[in-house]
């Protein structure tokens, strides 16, 4: 593997670069000297990371490890991979914030759900390690084990909920066996609606999975009962799931920012539509995210328009810092037309390693960046990558993803519309869905994304995802080859404007009360409706709340919105109280009400002049009615006495 030290030094200008031929063996003393020195240290080798970690001793600062061999050096274009190595080293030096954890505990109580003797055999393997109960859906001709080392019952799971350490199952057709069962199990009378609580569930039923995205549900193990190897793997995995386990809290949630609903009217439901595990449920005016169930796909955070849900592994701004460091170092080292390859560690890293060891490796201009989950990447990361000078972005996915990737597809559709509108035409953002390293290589070597922006941006921002997105969009607009002011976006985009039929609007301002972000505003001095497009998240609460149904949503991005003041949608003269001159409503609305009631309603006869009360404020209306001794029921005939059941019975008896 060739090391282009000059290119690495150009890309990592503020770092001291040293190269070696055999650092992990013959030159290990050189590593010990570096480890004993103060300051951050990055080692460009992941294969020998355990050895280097042991040799470093009690170093106060952690050592960062980065792979430049499989990702850059082992390639048919490895001779020109110096700028890429600089980019990888620069990204590794970017700090990653600490993430919170949630603790899940298991006492080893397991329910084995099966259909035949395979479930009982699995129970025998686990009986010495876990508290086992075996439940068989439709037992037929199963000989009872002797002695009974664990309970064997009959039942069918109707509903399953909960999480690792706290599963709750609703069971129908439940019955316990009779101790007198001889050649086959005989059961007592069955009952429905029984409840079972356990820490683990081993599903050997061969039927549909009990949970959506079951591969992502911790503590739920499922295997085909016809595959002994799969059953054994599930048994061995279950055996170790006893004790306390720390799980990353992938999502940080701020309920006050959630735009899910107001006054029992549903607005934004993007996260509910995208969550593959059912970890998100409505909870009043906002949603609730179960950290115990959440599998960390990140689609909710990528789609959340208000940043109420934000990803923590890493946060959106930390991911942008890595993108910035990579692309700047690559360009400073002399690289051109960089393509970001975003992949996960479990699938993507293994595929890249296989391509490097047995194929042509990655092209020199493809910069791989590992993230926890591909679907965590939001629009802000894609926009920022192109603003920083990327020529293309590719997402490496499994041929059969573990869960639905609809959220990522929506993000790519929005990015395509924005990039095309700003003059970055072509297939700039796409997915590569494969488990074949050769197919990955073919897709990347045949890739010609087009030119990047002429003068890449250098901004560095921190904050919530929406704030980062706003800034990244403004920077991309500034450096784009063909900037325009307004770009139409696909349906469901979190950016846009509202259209109001002003002729039908009565300025009731119910939309202002419902708007969770302050995009719709009133005027404290006069009847008016204003709109701030930069604050609109297209949640739809204004549309759902409007009693006249005159509001519609229009997804778009207006790059002038961040600099624009509130836009006046409708304004009218205030209605002034005819007695005290205090403004108290909308003049046109008050006049319409008065015209409909005066002389046409028994309470407001034209001759009495009582309709003047409609043109008064609430205080003056009470005073006037008191002065006039106005009795709203005067002249109204008495209502008949309500008939009761006794009246009807009495009439029936008389007949």
Beta-carbon contacts of 403 under 8 Å, excluding residues fewer than 6 positions away, are 213, 216, 276, 277, 295, 297, 375
For domain 103-246, give the CATH number: 3.50.50.60
What's the confidence (pLDDT) of residue 512? 96
Q: pLDDT for 434-483, tens place per residue?
A: 999 999 999 999 999 899 999 999 999 889 999 999 999 999 999 999 99
What's the confidence (pLDDT) of residue 625? 81
Three-state secondary structure call for residue 6? helix
Beta-carbon contacts of 216 under 8 Å, excluding residues fewer than 6 positions away, are 276, 277, 295, 297, 402, 403
Out of 190-204, 307-321, 483-497, 612-626, pick the least confident.
612-626
What's the confidence (pLDDT) of residue 626? 83
CB-side exposure of 235: number of CA atoms within 13 Å?
A: 22
555's tokens: 């997804």
639's tokens: 């209502």
What's the confidence (pLDDT) of residue 607? 62
What's the confidence (pLDDT) of residue 603? 73
What's the confidence (pLDDT) of residue 609? 67
Beta-carbon contacts of 496 under 8 Å, excluding residues fewer than 6 positions away, are 489, 533, 536, 538, 553, 554, 555, 556, 557
What's the confidence (pLDDT) of residue 145? 87
**pLDDT over 80 at 605, yes or no:** no
Apex 507 CA angle, 505 and 509, nearest 5: 115
Is the fold of 103-246 the same as that of 249-311?
no
What's the confidence (pLDDT) of residue 647? 92
What are phi and psi for residue 489, nearest 5 degrees? -120, 160
Three-state secondary structure call for residue 256? helix
Confidence of residue 617 (pLDDT cuts 50, 70, 90): very high
Q: Which string of DSSP letters, residue by residue, matches 174-233?
A: EEPBPTT--SS--B---BS-EEEEESEEEEES-SS-SSTTGGGSTTEEE--TT-HHHHHH
Using CA atoms, how far apart are residues 501 and 385, in angstroms rounded to an integer? 39
What's the confidence (pLDDT) of residue 208? 96
Using CA atoms, how far apart are residues 74 and 78, in angstroms rounded to an integer? 6
What's the confidence (pLDDT) of residue 537? 97
Confidence of residue 148 (pLDDT cuts 50, 70, 90): confident
Q: For the residues 16-29, what does the mean pLDDT come to?
A: 94
Examine residue 284 and say whether the peptide bond preceding it is cis (omega within 30 degrees of 0): no
Confidence of residue 594 (pLDDT cuts 50, 70, 90): confident
Using CA atoms, how far apart are residues 391 and 44, in angstroms rounded to an integer? 26
383's tokens: 């926009």
Confidence of residue 641 (pLDDT cuts 50, 70, 90): confident
Using CA atoms, how far apart are residues 536 and 35, in angstroms rounded to an integer? 51
Q: pLDDT for 348-396, tens place per residue?
A: 999 999 999 999 999 999 999 999 999 999 999 999 999 999 999 999 9
**pLDDT over 80 at 44, yes or no:** yes
Q: Are the beta carbons of 514 and 265 closer than 8 angstroms?
A: yes
Q: For the residues 250-270, what does the mean pLDDT come to?
A: 95
Q: Are the beta carbons of 88 and 323 closer than 8 angstroms?
A: no
Q: Which string of DSSP letters, residue by residue, matches 452-501?
A: --SS-------S-HHHHHHHHHHHHHHH-SS--SEEE--TT-S-EEEEE-
Q: pLDDT for 533-567, tens place per residue?
A: 999 999 999 999 999 999 999 999 999 998 889 99
292's tokens: 């115990």
User: Bridge partners of 201?
Assistant: 111, 220
Out of 284-298, 442-456, 528-542, 597-611, pick the least confident.
597-611
- Domain residue extents for the chain: 5-97+314-478, 103-246, 249-311, 496-571, 576-584+596-655
User: Bridge partners of 212?
Assistant: none
Q: For the residues 194-222, what does the mean pLDDT come to?
A: 96
For domain 496-571, give the CATH number: 3.30.70.3270
Q: What is the mean pLDDT of the chain?
A: 94
Confidence of residue 176 (pLDDT cuts 50, 70, 90): very high
What's the confidence (pLDDT) of residue 608? 62
What's the confidence (pLDDT) of residue 46? 95
**pLDDT over 80 at 149, yes or no:** yes
For domain 249-311, give the CATH number: 3.30.70.20
């Amino acid at each position: 593997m060739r090391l282009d030290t000059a290119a690495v030094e150009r890309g990592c200008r503020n770092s001291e670069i040293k190269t070696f031929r055999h650092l992990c063996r013959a030159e290990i003393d050189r590593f010990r000297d570096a480890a004993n020195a103060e300051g951050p240290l990055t080692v460009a080798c992941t294969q020998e990371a355990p050895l280097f970690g042991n040799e470093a001793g009690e170093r106060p600062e952690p050592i960062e490890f980065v792979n430049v061999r499989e990702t850059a050096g082992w390639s048919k274009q490895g001779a020109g991979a110096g700028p890429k190595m600089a980019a990888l080293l620069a990204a590794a030096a970017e700090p990653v914030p600490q993430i919170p954890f949630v603790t899940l505990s298991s006492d080893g109580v397991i329910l084995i759900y099966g259909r035949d003797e395979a479930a009982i055999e699995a129970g025998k393997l686990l009986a010495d390690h876990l508290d086992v109960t075996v439940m068989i859906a439709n037992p037929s001709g199963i000989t009872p084990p002797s002695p009974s080392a664990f309970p064997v019952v009959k039942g069918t799971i109707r509903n399953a909920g909960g999480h690792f350490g706290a599963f709750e199952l609703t069971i129908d057709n439940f019955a316990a066996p009779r101790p007198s069962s001889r050649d086959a199990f005989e059961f007592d009378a069955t009952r429905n609606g029984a409840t079972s609580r356990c820490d683990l569930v081993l599903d050997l039923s061969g039927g549909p999975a009990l949970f959506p995205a079951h591969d992502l549900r911790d503590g739920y193990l499922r295997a085909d009962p016809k595959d002994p190897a799969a059953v054994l793997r599930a048994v061995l995995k279950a055996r170790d799931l006893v004790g306390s386990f720390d799980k990353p809290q992938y999502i940080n949630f701020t309920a006050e920012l959630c735009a899910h609903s107001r006054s029992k009217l549903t607005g934004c439901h993007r996260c509910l539509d995208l969550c593959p595990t059912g970890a998100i449920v409505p909870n009043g005016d906002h949603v609730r995210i179960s950290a115990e169930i959440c599998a960390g796909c990140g689609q909710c955070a990528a789609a959340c328009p208000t940043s109420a849900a934000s990803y923590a592994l890493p946060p959106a701004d930390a991911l942008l810092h890595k993108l910035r460091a990579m692309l700047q170092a690559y360009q400073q080292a002399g690289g051109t037309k960089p393509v970001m390859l975003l992949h996960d560690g479990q699938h993507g890293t293994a595929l890249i390693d296989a391509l490097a060891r047995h194929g042509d490796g990655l092209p020199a201009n493809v910069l791989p960046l590992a993230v926890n989950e591909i679907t965590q990447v939001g629009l802000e990361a894609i926009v920022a990558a192109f603003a920083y000078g990327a020529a293309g972005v590719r997402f490496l996915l499994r041929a059969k993803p573990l869960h639905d990737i609809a959220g990522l597809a929506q993000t790519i559709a929005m990015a395509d519309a924005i990039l095309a509108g700003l003059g970055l035409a072509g297939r700039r953002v796409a997915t590569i869905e494969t488990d074949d390293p050769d197919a990955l290589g073919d897709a990347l070597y045949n890739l010609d994304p087009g030119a990047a922006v002429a003068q890449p941006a250098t901004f560095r921002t921190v904050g919530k995802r929406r704030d980062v997105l706003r800034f990244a969009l403004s920077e991309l607009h500034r450096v784009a080859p063909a900037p325009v002011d307004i770009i139409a976006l696909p349906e469901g985009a979190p950016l846009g404007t509202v259209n109001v039929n002003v002729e039908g609007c009565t300025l009731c301002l119910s939309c202002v009360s419902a708007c969770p972000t302050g995009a719709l505003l009133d005027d404290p001095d006069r009847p008016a409706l204003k709109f701030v497009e930069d604050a609109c998240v297209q949640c739809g609460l204004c549309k759902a709340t409007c009693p006249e149904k005159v509001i519609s949503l229009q997804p778009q991005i207006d790059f002038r919105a961040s600099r624009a003041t509130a836009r006046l949608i409708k304004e009218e003269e205030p209605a002034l109280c005819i007695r005290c001159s205090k403004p108290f409503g909308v003049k046109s609305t008050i006049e319409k009400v008065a015209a409909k009631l005066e002389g046409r309603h028994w309470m407001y006869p034209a001759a009495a002049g009582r309709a003047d009360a409609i043109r008064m404020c609430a205080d003056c209306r009470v005073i006037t009615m008191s002065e006039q001794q106005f009795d709203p029921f005067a002249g109204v005939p008495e209502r008949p006495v309500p008939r009761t059941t006794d009246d009807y019975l009495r009439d029936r008896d008389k007949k």
